[in-house]
């Protein structure tokens, strides 16, 4: 099996805590969701909303986010 390393890409992300914190989080049938390229994904307080390299949005659990991303200087 071959091994690969993720290319270093700077992303934008906002940690979500409540309705109104992010314009891409919508309320549907008693849950909060983000529309992603793969379909609707549920978000819970503390999840990160990531803006991908093509402007797409998707949620990420805090523990996975901490293992995958590190802060960079503000522009």
Q: Mind listing the pLDDT tens digit for each residue in 7-51? A: 888 899 999 998 878 889 998 888 999 999 999 999 999 999 999
Please tell me the number of Cα atoms within 13 Å of 42 on its side-chain side: 5
Q: Are 48 and 13 in contact (CB under 8 A)?
A: yes
Residue 14: per-residue pLDDT:
92
Task: Please report the pLDDT score of residue 6 as a whole number.
Answer: 82
Output the pLDDT for position 75.
54
> What average pLDDT score do residues 53-57 get?
92
Q: What is the pLDDT of residue 74?
A: 67
Domain boundaries, the chain: 12-68
Which residues of 1-75 form beta strands (DSSP E)? 12-15, 25-28, 31-36, 39-43, 48-51, 57-60
């Amino acid at each position: 099996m071959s091994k690969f390393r993720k290319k270093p890409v700077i992303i934008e992300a906002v940690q979500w805590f409540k309705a109104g914190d992010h314009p891409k989080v919508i309320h549907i049938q008693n849950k909060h969701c983000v529309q992603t390229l793969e379909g609707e994904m549920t978000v819970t307080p503390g999840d990160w909303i990531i803006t991908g390299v093509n402007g797409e949005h998707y949620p990420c659990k805090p523990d996975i986010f901490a293992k995958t991303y590190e802060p960079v200087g503000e522009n």
